[in-house]
Amino acid sequence: MIRRTAVAGLATAALASTSLLLAGPAHAADPAECTITDVLPQQAVIGIVGQRVQLGVTTTCDDQDIKFSVRGRGLGTSAHGFWIAACNYRYSGPANYDCGHDGSGIVNPIPGTTYGYDFIPGNDLAGPNPIYATAFIDVNQDSYQNTGDISLGTLGDTLTLLRQTTFDRTFNAAPEPVRQGKPIKVSATLSTADWNTGTWTGLDADVKVQFKAAHQKSYHTVKTVTATAGELKTSVKATRSGYWRAVYAGTGTLAASTSGSDYVKVRAAH
């Protein structure tokens, strides 16, 4: 049975350090039945500053003290990485390993603010990037990989880096209140993180304008509008009171985002 030995989640630089170790081993594992099966997480959303990402592994080991290291590589051939995951065990390798937070590391694709060699930071890093994990069972529980410990080998995978998108607080539906049958003007600005410049920039994209009537549980799409340089402007017919919002679905390189909602009260036509 596959046992999750570390739970991965995305967090900001204020992420609290969390132990990713299992309890001490109840018995010695069979190396043939103890391997890494997955590297976590599958994706990370990055804005215009580096984000701390919690990483981990899943294995086929049951009740073992697993120590692991996760490493990301740049676009070149160097073994040094442009972003490095932390290690739960002491490591004497490249100085830019970050072991200050258990199992986490900074992902930062903004030029001029990263460490590493032979890589090209910027928007071209959006999408799948190589990720590698090594792990071992710390039989003597001394936090070192040494004689008597059981190696789980190395597993290669990918971590998809997505450029963050946001409507911030720009969504607006007006006027409020409005007479039934009259137009409601909807506007918003959709921006995305530009990793080349470290700034936010307007995005050309299709955006869904959605509505949820008062007391209903779910939204439905009223129309799809194309934002130009991030600017979205359209009108919809007022039918009943409720909440309006904008939704961007995202792509393989851009994260999805949803605006805040705006309530519009609709009054009877006469």
Place of tokens 């009108």: 235
Q: What is the pLDDT of residues 156-196, one digit of tens each?
A: 999 999 999 999 999 999 999 999 999 999 999 999 999 99
| pLDDT for 136 | 84
Nearest residue to 204 (alpha-carbon basis) of 231, 177, 223, 222? 231
pTM: predicted TM-score of the whole model, two decimal places: 0.79
| CATH 3.30.70.1350 at 165-267, yes or no | no
- Where do the domains of the chain lie? 3-163, 165-267
Q: Write out pLDDT tens, residues 92-126.
A: 444 333 444 566 777 778 876 544 444 567 898 89
Closest by CA position to 228, among listed 246, 203, 211, 194: 203
Listed in sequence order, the residues at least 6 apart from 33 whose beta carbon sits closer than 8 Å to its beta carbon are 60
Tens of pLDDT along the chain (270 residues)?
333 333 333 332 222 222 333 333 445 556 567 888 888 889 999 999 888 787 778 888 766 778 887 777 543 333 334 444 444 434 444 433 344 456 677 777 887 654 444 456 789 889 998 888 888 888 888 777 888 888 888 999 999 999 999 999 999 999 999 999 999 999 999 999 999 999 999 999 999 999 999 989 999 999 999 999 999 999 999 999 999 999 999 999 999 999 999 999 999 987
